[in-house]
Chains A and B, each alone.
Chain A
Amino acid sequence: MTDLLRVRDLSTRFFTEEGQINAVENVSFTVEAGSVLGVVGESGSGKSVTGLSLIDLVESPGKITSGEVWYNNADLAERVEGDRPEAVDGDFVDLRRLSEAERRSLRGSAFSMIFQDPMSSFNPSITVGEQIAEAAEVQRRASANPRSTRSRTQGYGLGRMLLDGALPDRSYTSEESWDRAVELLERVGIPDPAERAEEYPHQFSGGMLQRAMIAQALAGDPDLLVADEPTTALDVTIQAQILDLLADLQETMEMSVVLITHNLGVIARVADRVSVMYAGEVVERGTLTDVFDRPVHPYTKGLLGSVPDIDRPGERLEPIAGNVPDLVDANMPDRCYFADRCPKAMTDCLTRLPEYEVSDSHRARCVLAEREYSEADAVPAERLARPTDGGATGDDGSTASDESAAPDAEVSDD
């Protein structure tokens, strides 16, 4: 299988008043063409920001500070090679070295994204059909003039804007794009698409609206669909429908999908490869079997042990002690970020660790990939229970059920 996307050492930081937040730190992964990469992690692990960074949607005060995103597209490579030879490697193009406008021209046609909450992702005052048709129209105008990176703004000049203000009509859509919208709605399994297209978002149920958002994302026939928690807001029966739909689309349209979720069951259902994120880093990645059946990183094990198993009830859960750390740069310890919660922390863990190779397809950011755990090297509890530098108080939220030694991690602001 060829790779569609190779991400190398991607870092995204937010520069806020509370300090610099390392939302994504040196993340590397590969998305194979026509496959599903699952990105799993808890809230605040940086998985959504990773998705946004891929298609360059990070907004101020956030900034992608380093990294390379190599995208496999021979046409694009040929086009770019003349101007920027350094951004091209064979058929691959490094998106980070392209201009803003060039990257923008890839949105929709090469990459597309769907979001968690379908209710708030649509404009409530415009019909669903019109919103999808608009996306189709943008792609139609762009493909009419593929070389121009300005093509998608064509026709939307100042004069047009004023005219639209005075005489609002459906100028952002055309008959062709409206037909395309209906066709897309039908493709995602909305019954009576022609009639439903005329309706407003509030007339759709959550599941229907999620389908509509998928339709909108497909308007440009993208190579890669980034789906950020696409089923989290939905009930399980509807979730099952949407996952079926995604799997079906992915297969028939030969698209790749990056599926971001906190639900391990969803990952198991659709993903081919998995990246586990913790505190902004990918701590373990590999095929689904690598990660689920042969996890190396204690965090991955902990995550799997925390999920009650619907088919094997009654076993006591083995949660990970403590809480997810906040990601303020000044508070990040200069060692493995998980060491403070790790049941198998060793003295090696007191330094920043590289990613180790477990097998060809399987990598983990943990020394356990290299060596066995040994009691002799265990880190004395008091070294870890100590609060992270930065003056956080020394209370700790430990109990019998929490195990001891859990640092009462800094409280996150929500």
Chain B
Amino acid sequence: MTDPLVTVDGLEKYYYENDTLLDRLTGAEPEAVRAVDGVSFDVREGETLGVVGESGCGKSTLAETLMRLREPTGGSVTFDGDPVFELSGGDMDAFRRRAQVMFQDPFSSLDPRMTAGEIITEPLAIHDVGTAAERRERAETLLEEVGLSADQIDRYPHEFSGGQRQRIGFARALAIDPEFVVLDEPVSALDVSVQAQVLNLLADMQAERDLTYLFIAHDLSVVRHISDRVAVMYLGEIVEIGPTEEIFEDPQHPYTKALLESVPRADTDERDRVVETIRGDVPSPRDPPSGCSFRTRCPELIQPPWLDAPQAAFREISEFRTRIENGDIDVDTRWERVGDPDREDRAAFVDALREEAFDEDLPDNDEETVREAIRALADGDREAAAATLRERYRSPCEAIDPALPAGNHPDACLRNEQPADVEAAREEWEADHDAPEVGASSR
């Protein structure tokens, strides 16, 4: 674990929608899907860096952009001192020889019309290594090394099982003798018993050939098993990165904690383990939340300095506010349920919605503010309702975008240590927002 072999700095990959010629002529604003949104990290020589995250968090796009299989929209990647995005010609070929990829799906990542031997020797042929006979010999050795037999060289992919196909994909990645291999979900399509075989193979080959791995997976147990360091991604950003032991034993970011909690253990004590599930779904990368991207699901959302409500109550109020702001609460059906066609019985409406939206008891002040917002809602004034709640319950998490500080085990959460500029922004924010008076705007 010494020098960084790969340095990724502020890597961005946006996909644009509404960006066709027609859209441009009609003047439609292109809409960015922020698949990878400013990611920085190092991969050190000889280590395995695991990248985990839920589907849609951008981990595969990260791998593909990093290997320059997709053109980045921002940032840079340095491989052993060379800027990958600026290489061309012979230098690019050299980079391609030193860095290889193995893909997730054993069924679609191998050409069905090529034999195992052709698949494995293709990178050698492209880079013009050896004669045909030498390449074939190399393929035979590789097949043996990855746990298949040399006589299977003339078989086609459909004659192999999923685990065997992943071995072929791995042999192909190793054919050119790379130093760095990106493994994109290499075992997630496999059954557990076969998955274990492939994981052991990956570990053996790394030890034998001093490989550096970037290991992408959604299965946390697998990542813990194979990685030296782990990066946790959420919505296109790294929220925490550090040595595997520390990430798993002492997670700092609320998302990492929630993710670790959620994994069911194959153990008879599992039933009694209390799991605090996080609510809701991952937001769309088309329209990520302002500030901290995890704040819409975060169980540890920071309260504004003037507030001291129970955390659970604060969360429910925040969720209720989001629903009002998004227009998810249909006032008409609520009135129907109250059964007052003239819409005069505001108290009944307020009681009903208060009951529906909250499980928690609220402190008196907060109860009053919430009811005030619901009264505005009853009058059909969604804006006023949202404003009432926004005034009192705005969290620093929605205003300030946390960043990943330097260090061995940093995390992007405002609760923890943050870079100086983020800290400064937060102080400024707190100075700008004073405690609102309770009930000041009530009618």
Contacts and interface: CB of A to CB of B under 8 A. Distances in A.
Contact of B225 (A236, A292, A304, A308): A308
B192 A42 contact: yes
A263 interface: yes
Nearest to A207: B281
Nearest to A205: B281
A310 B224 contact: yes
B85 interface: no
Contacts of A184: none
A192 B330 contact: yes
B220 A42 contact: no
A241 interface: yes
A397 B259 CA distance: 36
A163 interface: no
B258 interface: yes
Given A240-B277, A308-B221, A313-B244, A268 B265 contact: yes
A400 B204 CA distance: 10
B15 interface: no
A122 B323 CA distance: 26
B239 to A, nearest CB: 13
Among B192, B199, B333, the one with the most A-chain Cβ atoms within 10 Å of its Cβ is B192
A280 to B, nearest CB: 15
B164 interface: yes
A211 to B, nearest CB: 11
A195 B218 contact: no
B54 A401 contact: no
B261 to A, nearest CB: 7
B167 to A, nearest CB: 8
B195 A306 contact: yes
B290 interface: no
Given A240-B262, A266-B264, A288-B268, A195 B330 contact: yes
Contacts of A412: 161
B117 to A, nearest CB: 14
B164 A397 contact: yes
Interface stretch (A62-70, A318-326, A354-362, A364-372): A318-326
A237 B262 contact: yes
Contacts of A43: 191
Interface in B168-227: 191-197, 199-201, 203-204, 218, 220-222, 224-225
B248 A235 contact: no
Nearest to B202: A401
A306 B196 contact: yes
B333 A195 contact: yes
Contact of A313 (B164, B191, B225, B329): B225
B270 A269 contact: yes
Contacts of B275: 240, 244
A411 B271 contact: no
Among A206, A263, A309, A313, the one with the most B-chain Cβ atoms within 10 Å of its Cβ is A313
Given A313-B225, A319-B194, A413-B158, A265 B333 contact: no
B333 A194 contact: yes
Given A194-B333, A235-B55, A414 B107 contact: yes
Interface string B132-149: 000000000000101111
A398 interface: yes
B268 A191 contact: no
Nearest to A195: B330
Interface in A394-414: 395-402, 408-409, 411-414
Contacts of B248: 310, 313
Nearest to B197: A319
B294 to A, nearest CB: 11
B222 A308 contact: yes
A238 interface: yes
Among A264, A311, A318, A319, the one with the most B-chain Cβ atoms within 10 Å of its Cβ is A319
Contacts of B220: 236, 310
Q: How large is the interface on A (under 10, 10 to 19, 20 to 34, 35 or more residues)?
A: 35 or more
A208 B279 CA distance: 11
Nearest to A313: B224
Contact of A236 (B152, B192, B262, B271): B262
A409 B161 contact: yes
A262 interface: yes
Contacts of B263: 236, 265, 310
A266 to B, nearest CB: 5
B159 interface: yes
Among B148, B264, B282, B323, the one with the most A-chain Cβ atoms within 10 Å of its Cβ is B264
Nearest to B56: A235
Interface in A297-311: 302-311
A138 interface: no
A317 B148 CA distance: 19
B75 to A, nearest CB: 26
A318 B196 contact: yes
Nearest to A208: B281
B266 A268 contact: yes
B281 A238 contact: yes
Contacts of B144: 399
A411 B270 contact: no
A194 B281 CA distance: 19
Given A240-B277, A268-B266, A303 B333 contact: no
A191 B323 contact: yes
Contacts of B278: 237
Contacts of A237: 54, 258-259, 262, 277-278
Interface in A301-356: 302-311, 313-314, 316-321, 323-324
A243 interface: yes
Nearest to B152: A395
A323 B201 contact: no
A263 B267 CA distance: 12
A319 B218 CA distance: 20
A10 B54 CA distance: 39
Contact of A191 (B54, B151, B161, B328): B328
Contact of B260 (A194, A310, A398): A310
Contacts of A304: 266
B163 interface: yes
A397 B200 contact: no
B267 A268 contact: yes
Interface string A208-250: 1000000000000000000000000001111111011000000
Interface string B80-110: 0000000000000000000000000001000
A265 B261 CA distance: 12
Given A237-B259, A316-B200, 9 more contacts: A42-B191, A192-B323, A192-B330, A235-B218, A238-B281, A308-B196, A323-B163, A400-B204, A414-B107
19 contacts: A235-B218, A236-B259, A236-B262, A237-B262, A239-B262, A241-B277, A243-B264, A263-B264, A267-B266, A302-B193, A308-B196, A309-B266, A310-B224, A318-B196, A320-B193, A395-B149, A397-B149, A401-B201, A411-B158
